Amino acid sequence: MLAPEGLKVLDLSNYVPGALCTMILGDFGADVIKVEPAEPFPYEDMGYSSKGEEKRKKTAYFALNRNKKSIGINLRSEAGQQIFYRMAKEADVIIEGYRPGVVKRLKIDYDTVKEINPRVIYCSLSGYGQDGPYRLYPGHDINYISLAGILGLLGPKEGRPSIPLNLIADFAGVSLYGTVAILLALMVRDKTGKGQYLDHTYMEGALHLLIWFTQEYFYKGTVIKRGESWALGGYPHYDTYKTKDGKDISIGCLEPHFWDNLCKALGREDLMPYKWGMEMTFCAPDRKLQEIREDLQKIFLTKTRDEWFDLLIKQDVPIGKVYSMDEVFEDPQIKARQMVIDVEDPKLGKIRQVGILPKLSDMPGSVRRLAPLHGEQTDEILKALGYSGEQITKLRQGKVIG
């Protein structure tokens, strides 16, 4: 039995952060239905596909929609809202990603739904929240991490901030925190029998990720600056270096014994006193740190990336190969941990995707179905709700469903 098996989830999020949240629930057994517009969402480059067999393979590789069904509904119509109410009556979780106020105008907001289903967990994903002066502001990951104080920390000391994909606010801040929030709310419901509303934001999720780094600021007003902290490229002990073949390695020798191991392996025992930590603050000014970094760079240019990895890992040095995407999924550790999987499809053959997390010993997740085409299960879902074939035809003719 899978952990949330039988859990009914309605996903109205439209964008990929919400899709990752419901994918995680779906991977572990939840019955997830994507409630999409009657007409296809216009973001095919992000994996959303209109109907048609020519789109089938492209859609199959869109792992964020695996283990889901899709129904296309015009929620602006009264008939469409009635379909949604029938679905919501049986739902355990509803996730929406509209701008604040939209679901209320559509009459599918939490206050409306809880009258139909008081046990529902209703999660709103928005940039800045349902209240506050920024509530209606538009935004994307780059904007949220700017305001959360993260973007200003990333990149070289004397350069512009570096954009870290949209991993921080979108995927960690909303997708992962949102999943945790939903599971916590379900645990509470098991005790109280009551659902609740979750107001979850991209910016707050990003800010919360900084919690460990804020302690020095709250304690004594220390402001971390780009390129100066141990985790931001300020020290040669925790940095990347170019190698002989033009590829890069990452070194993470913060602990004194790891630094000693590196210095010994490189034949530079003279650098051992310059360990990262409080003592280095007094014995290694900026010019010395730069000198150490330059010395290490010269040494690392004498061997290839893989040669350095094989050599230094045997000396118990924290080292990593800086991979390109095509190298990641050939790594033996990635394969051993099943973080790349092949999903068999009777028509398409093997479809390769990123594996399943988290890993549960007694209730491992699985991919039971590949991503659906837009509205692929509309008729199936409506029939399960009690609609007749004739009613479904009329709804389609009236452009209520896709």
- 3-state SS string over 150-191? CHHHCCCCCCCCCCCCCHHHHHHHHHHHHHHHHHHHHHHHHH
Q: Tokens 């600021």 appear where? A: 217
Predicted local confidence at residue 252, as pLDDT: 96
Ramachandran area for residue 41 (φ above 0: left; ψ -120 to 50: alpha; else beta): beta
What's the whole-model pTM score?
0.91
Domains and CATH numbers, the chain: 8-208+339-397 (3.40.50.10540), 235-242+248-321 (3.30.1540.10)
Distance CA 83, CA 35 (A): 11
Tokens of 140: 């994307």
pLDDT (tens digit, 9 = 90+) per residue, 240-274? 999 999 999 999 999 999 999 999 999 999 999 99
Per-residue pLDDT tens listing for the chain (402 residues): 455 778 999 999 989 999 999 999 999 999 999 999 998 765 554 444 445 566 788 899 999 999 999 999 999 999 999 999 999 999 999 999 999 999 999 999 999 999 999 999 999 999 999 999 999 999 999 999 999 999 999 998 888 999 999 999 999 999 999 999 999 999 999 999 999 999 999 999 999 999 999 998 999 898 988 888 888 888 999 999 999 999 999 999 999 999 999 999 999 999 999 987 644 544 556 788 899 999 999 999 999 999 999 999 999 999 999 999 999 999 999 999 999 999 999 989 999 999 999 999 888 999 999 999 999 999 999 999 999 999 999 999 999 998
The 10 Å CB-count burial string (b at 16+, else e) for 39-49 is ebbeeeeebbb
Distance CA 272, CA 67 (A): 53
Tokens of 279: 């003592």
Predicted local confidence at residue 284, as pLDDT: 56
Residue 271: phi, psi to the nearest 5?
-90, -5
Q: In a 10 Å sphere around its CB, with 0-12 CB exposed, 13-18 middle and 19+ buried, how is residue 287 labelled?
A: exposed
Would you say 26 and 4 are in contact if contact means Cβ atoms under 8 Å apart? no
Looking at the DSSP bridge assignments, the partners of residue 321 are 249
Cα-based distances in Å from 393 to 36, 40, 387: 18, 19, 10
